[in-house]
Structure 1
Amino acid sequence: MGKREKKQRHQRHPRREASQYLEGGENSFSYENLPSPSKPPLSDEEDGEEEVEEEEQEQEHEGRSPSLDIPSKFLLYQQSVQSPKGDISYLQKFFLMYVGGRQPLHLQEDFCGTALLSTEWLRNDPRRTAVGLDLDVEALNWCMENNVNAIGADSSRISLFHGNVLQPCEAKLVSFDSGDCIRTIRLDPSEEDPRMDDQQSILQGDCISSPRTMPLNISSKQLPGRDIVCAFNYSCCCLHKRKELVLYFRHVLGFLSRRGGIFVMDLYGGTSSEQKLRLQRRFANFKYVWEQAEFDIIERKTRISLHFHLQKPQKKLPYAFSYSWRLWSLPEIKDCLEEAGFQSVHFWIRQMPDSENIKSVEGFGIGKDLKYEEVLSFEQQDSWNAYIVGVAK
């Protein structure tokens, strides 16, 4: 059996991911949170993919089950991938620059996964609210038990929804009373309360509970129009078709405040993004590995896998997350945003260190102090990251 067959077999068990976006059936992949541009991994030519596959074969042969003291893959992901404070700083900057006139208070985080960004958003201002939307109920439940509980009383200002960003009106509100109970809701931006000055999203529905829970009494609830909607960690690469990207952007536009708002997404690119690639970053007690499969230049698709190698205990979590991505170009994103109805589109780009030149953990410091800058043109590099800002007024 070749390497490709081994990987596909592993991805089918023991746990299937929740995403049903584009590739139905057994080969669906979760979009959860994806690697952040603020913490790129390092290249490591010493660790080949054979190492991961050998560990996979060993675990299957011995029938080993995960140890109770192994940290959650979601915790490892947050520690190695995300930088919510940095993202929030840029979100505030973009809003004040392109909308202005008020402080942004209402955030929606699409493809939110464990909603780390949303919970961090609530910390600094008691007026702030956050909405998180994701298709992976396991990630949302982990968020409820860990991130939401950690913010105490601030948790009353966050609403988490289980659903598809392409069908937000079908999303379900995750209950704060029980991880087993979710409420059917409507996120229809077309319905507005005439008593409100701002655009509202109407939430209505009944409780759907597991046999172990009691139905909840749920009254109608209203959420303010969002000042900012974001889709970070390259999440829009999970949408493979142009019509789906435009549809998603139209939904986003409907959720933004009538007083003005912004949509912010991130994207990566460069010559190294269109080839087979393996990068890593070392942390105190584990190593984070990003593996990019062969790149199809016709469909512009690749497969991304994230692995974690623990030191204590010595354990490997191969294929902790796997994704099928369509790598969009900046002009394509701009065209889709404008077709969806955004007034203007702005690019903020940061050049990243060349993947071929980073050979050790010390190399990670190269370029870490470089900031994102707004550009009208940008010469192709080995590697870059971008924030794309769509402005609605």
Structure 2
Amino acid sequence: MGRGLDLQAEGVILPAVKAKGRSRKPVLTARTADRHALYEIAVQTPDDEVKFFDRVYRGLNGRMPRVLREDFCATAAISQSWVKRGEDRVAFSIDLDPAPLAWAREKRLAQLTESQRERVHLVEGNVLHPPRIGKVDVVSAGNFSWWVFKERGILREYFAKVRKALAPGGVFVLDLMGGTQSSELLKERRRCAGFTYEWEQHAFNAVTHEFTCFINFLFRDGTRMDRAFRYDWRWWSIPEARELLMEAGFKNATVYWEGDDDKGGGNGMYRPTDKGESCMCHVTYIVAHG
């Protein structure tokens, strides 16, 4: 989660109509905008994610990682960033949904060099039954995607299969959100270039922790792209996730907490800790290894 991508700098042009009058800047509307492109702009910071993976892996092993498995990859933005950071780097990008994979193949991989493109492998499949690709150095499950598993037994099974897929020294990086507002019913908006991103926490069952959320996009012409993305999750806490990781065989499950920018927000720097402050909302990494 974070600032998002500059897709025009990346070579991905957003469909748009031109504004009337003197302004010739593209104007996004609900009819012309591409939801996958908007998601990447509003939500993802793949370069920052990869830098974090590198820092953690190098700190544990004294060398840089080479092979990434990006679970629940969607448009494989992290995989693209991964292969750009080294000529020997390989990424396997796994998702059940063929639509974002097709978008990634057309819009993202087309912007890579031939060498980089050959090292990104898009896989339509289930992370519970991953392809036989050999051992990997890093497995990532970002943007709370692993919350799709609502039962302890299934989540533990997924964690165990991730551990089995890791090479010696390998790490599993997952994120989650928490805090006093993280399960409240609310809508939060953030302005982006040409549109407004809206995060909607639509329904929460306090007994089962089943959680339904939406991403909506609003445009300057008054049109909306409601429920562009829907998430049916179980809200998992940090202690629950760490316990299940250990039950799955990991020897360590370290929490990385974001520092404070002294203005009520985060500063983008994540450090290992055993203590986190009570706050309205936080996004936290857990790094499992061993």
Shorter-chain TM-score: which interval? Answer: 0.7 to 0.9
Matches within 5 A, 1:226-375: 226-257=136-167, 259-311=168-220, 314-350=222-258, 366-369=264-267, 371-375=269-273
Runs of 4+ in structure 1 displaced over 4 angstroms?
Answer: none
TM-score (norm 1): 0.64
Q: Does 1:128 align with 2:89?
A: yes
2:109 to 148, 151, 155: 148
**Structure 2, unpaired ranges of 5+:** 5-29
CA distance 1:143–1:286, change in 2 (3 Å): same
Alpha-carbon distance in 2 for matches of 1:385, 1:233: 9
Matches within 5 A, 1:1-393: 36=1, 38-39=2-3, 67=31, 70-98=32-60, 100-153=61-114, 154-168=116-130, 187-188=131-132, 201=133, 224-257=134-167, 259-311=168-220, 314-350=222-258, 366-369=264-267, 371-392=269-290
Alpha-carbon distance in 2 for matches of 1:285, 1:352: 29
Query: Number of paired residues?
Result: 263
CA distance 1:270–1:286, change in 2 (3 Å): same
- Identical columns (%): 32
Higher strand share: 2
Alpha-carbon distance in 1 for matches of 2:268, 2:145: 23
Q: What is the letter of the counterpart of residue 110 of structure 1?
A: D
Structure 1 counterpart SS, 2:79: helix
Shift of 1:71: 2.3
TM-score (norm 2): 0.86
Q: Deviations over 1:126-173 (max 9, x none)?
A: 0000000001100000000011111121110111111111222xxxxx
**Structure 1, unpaired ranges of 5+:** 1-35, 41-65, 169-186, 189-200, 202-223, 354-364
Q: What is the letter of the counterpart of residue 234 of structure 1?
A: F
Q: What is the letter of the counterpart of residue 373 of structure 1?
A: R
Alpha-carbon distance in 2 for matches of 1:298, 1:319: 25
| Structure whose alpha-carbon radius of gyration is higher | 1
**For the aligned residues, what is the CA RMSD?**
1.8
Contact 1:348/1:372 (<8 A) preserved? yes
Structure 2 counterpart SS, 1:378: coil
Alpha-carbon distance in 1 for matches of 2:232, 2:281: 20
Shift of 1:351: 6.3
Q: Deviations over 1:221-242 (max 9, x none)?
A: xxx4211000000111111111
Q: What is the letter of the counterpart of residue 233 of structure 1?
A: N
Structure 1 counterpart SS, 2:154: helix
Alpha-carbon distance in 1 for matches of 2:39, 2:62: 36
Shift of 1:370: 5.1
Structure 2 counterpart SS, 1:273: coil
Q: What is the letter of the counterpart of residue 380 of structure 1?
A: S
Shift of 1:315: 2.7
Contact 2:66/2:137 (<8 A) preserved? yes
Contact 2:57/2:63 (<8 A) preserved? no
